[in-house]
Amino acid sequence: MTPDEIAVVRGELETFAAEVFEPFARKDQRRWGQVYLRGLLTDGQRKSVEPMAARLG
């Protein structure tokens, strides 16, 4: 997905991520979980953290 396509479904994605990452104790862990999930959905061959972060800006 492109960043624009992710923006279209961002609300639904945040709701889903909130449910998935609810058991995480710390707020920062839940936030980074959401960022990681968005990174997995982006276009790009490499799905390790550094390339995903570069694509998300």
Model pTM?
0.71
- Domain spans of the chain, in order of start: 3-56
Instruction: Give yes or no for residue 29 having a pLDDT over 80.
Output: yes
Q: What percent of the chain has pLDDT over 70?
A: 98
What's the mean pLDDT when you consider all of the chain? 87
Confidence of residue 35 (pLDDT cuts 50, 70, 90): confident
> d(Cα 15, Cα 19) in Å, to the nearest integer?
7
Residue-wise DSSP of 3-55: HHHHHHTHHHHHHHHHHHTTT-SSHHHHHHHHHHHHHHHSS-S--SHHHHHHH
With a pLDDT cut of 90, the percent of the chain lying above it is 46
Which has more pLDDT, 14 or 54? 14
Please, which residues have CB within 8 angstroms of residue 39's CB and are 6 or more apart in sequence?
47, 49, 52, 53, 55, 56
